[in-house]
Amino acid sequence: MDLDNLYTTIELDKNLNAMYERLKPLAVSDGIYKPLDISFSTGTPQNKEGVYCYSDENGYHYCYTERGKVSMHKITKDFFELSYFIFNDQVFIMASNMETSL
């Protein structure tokens, strides 16, 4: 993908969710599936704590809000790198759930 032609926030939502769905069959069979818990907007709904992702002229933003403040904010123009940020965190949570259920 051309780095100057970024996905919109709506396209990010669609493409990342489609990619994440490919993990679902294996995670469900292991009993650890967790839906993708990311708000695709410039903030979380009602400004609650959590993860959100959006696109603007500066690139793709991957952020986490905690106690009313942004505690993590990563910016990249590389869709693959953004998907790594997101899937790494989500798979870690599922792996932790699997480990604690053993």
DSSP 57: T
Contact at 8 Å (CB) between 63 and 52? yes
Per-residue pLDDT of the chain (102 residues; tens, 9 = 90+): 455 689 999 999 999 999 999 989 988 988 888 899 899 998 777 778 889 999 999 999 999 998 888 889 999 999 999 999 999 988 888 888 778 876
> Which H or E run includes 63?
strand 59-66
Give residues with Cβ within 8 angstroms of 54, minimum separation 6.
9, 12, 40, 41, 42, 60, 61
- Which residues sit opposite 64 in a β-bridge? 51, 72
Number of Cβ within a 10 Å radius of residue 75: 13
Domain extents for the chain?
Answer: 9-96
